[in-house]
Amino acid sequence: MDFFEVVQQRKSVREYSGKKVDKVLIEKIIDAGRVAATARNEQPWEFIAAFDKDILKKICAMCPNGPFIKDASCLIAIFSKDTKYYIEDCSSATQNMLLAIEALGLGGCWVAGDKKDYAETVREIFNVPTGYRLVSMLAIGYPKKVQVPKPKRKVEEVIHWEKW
C-alpha cells in the first residue's frame, strides 16, 4: 500500500483473531512512533509493549471503553515525560503507529490514557517511574474479520481557503 492508501484505509479494529503478532512487527510499529514529529525535538516518549495476557486482562478490566484489550495480541502503552507538549508529541507518535499497524496488515485501536482514572494504575502495573504520564495505549492484533473504514466527511466539506 502506498502512504495515501494506508491513510485512507486506517480504521479502529476491536475484534482480533487470536493469532500472535511477532515482536519484529511490534518493533517496526514502535519505530514508526519513535520518529514522529515532536516539539523542540524533545522525544519525551517511552513505549511499553505487553503480550502477557494477565496484564492485558488487568488493564482491560479498568478501561470501560477498552473491553477488546484482553483479546489483543499486544498492547503498546505510550508514556511521556511531563513536558509542555507531551499530549501533542505522543499523539503524533500514536498516529504514526496506527498508520504502521494498517500498513503491516494488522488491526489496532487507540485507547485513551491521559486524564483517565486508570492512568496512574497502568503506570504502576508497568513499573514506570514517577514523572511519566500515560498518554495512550494501542491494542494490536490480526483482525478477526475484514473491516472497511467508516465514512469520513469529504475534503470539500472541511477545507477553507484563506478564510472560514
pLDDT tens digit at each of 164 positions of the chain: 799 999 999 999 999 999 999 999 999 999 999 999 999 999 999 999 999 999 999 999 999 999 999 999 999 999 999 999 999 999 999 999 999 999 999 999 999 999 899 999 999 999 999 999 999 999 999 999 998 899 999 999 999 999 99
For residue 125, give the 3-state DSSP assignment.
Answer: helix
Q: How far is CA 10 from CA 13, 22, 74, 118, 120, in A?
A: 9, 20, 18, 27, 29
Does a structural domain hold residue 162?
A: no
| Domain harbouring 94, CATH code | 3.40.109.10
Q: Containing domain of residue 17, as a range?
A: 3-144
- Look at residue 138 and tell me if it is in a domain: yes
Does the pTM of the predicted model rise above 0.75? yes
E strand map for the chain: 45-50, 74-81, 107-112, 132-141
| 159 is a domain residue | no
- Domains in the chain, number: 1
Question: Is 83 inside any structural domain?
Answer: yes
Does residue 157 belong to any structural domain of this protein?
no
Establish if 149 belongs to a structural domain. Answer: no
